[in-house]
Structure 1
Amino acid sequence: MHRTQFLVDTDVIINYLKGKENARDFLIDIIDERAVGFFSVITEAELVLATANEKHFKIFQEIKTEFIKEI
């Protein structure tokens, strides 16, 4: 089965952390394995800096570990 692949930008994760429904729906497609998500090391660095809030950092780490492949 072919799954669509996406390069996930920083904005998607930040919008998810802000509770934006479209970002949540997009990530749910990745979680439910309807799509494959990747992010770059640049995006990872931006998110580490953007998630100074400990709660947001933990959520980002969970997303990174569970759902998105690094390229």
Structure 2
Amino acid sequence: MRVLTWEGILSCDNIKYGYNVVTGKYEDLITAGIINPTKVSYILKLQVLSTTALVVMLLFVLDMHFYWLLSY
């Protein structure tokens, strides 16, 4: 059993370098196919859109709530 160490990951200046659990080696995770930059970008955009929709809906609900309170 191999022990994971931060020294193994931090010893390389390449930010794509990491530990591949399947092979048990330290390697470039993008060339190994573990990290897919396109998928990461897609998920990030999806999370931003989801958060934006939530904030817009919250502002709308609060606006309607205060409008209802002030109308009486």
Find the structure with the greater CA-based Rg.
Answer: 2
TM-score category (smaller protein): under 0.3
Q: Of the two structures, which has the highest relative contact order with CA contacts closer than 8 Å and spacing of 6 or more? A: 1
What TM-score comes out, normalization by structure 2 length?
0.21
User: If each structure's strand is expressed as a fraction of its own residues, which one has the higher value?
Assistant: 1
What TM-score comes out, normalization by structure 1 length?
0.22
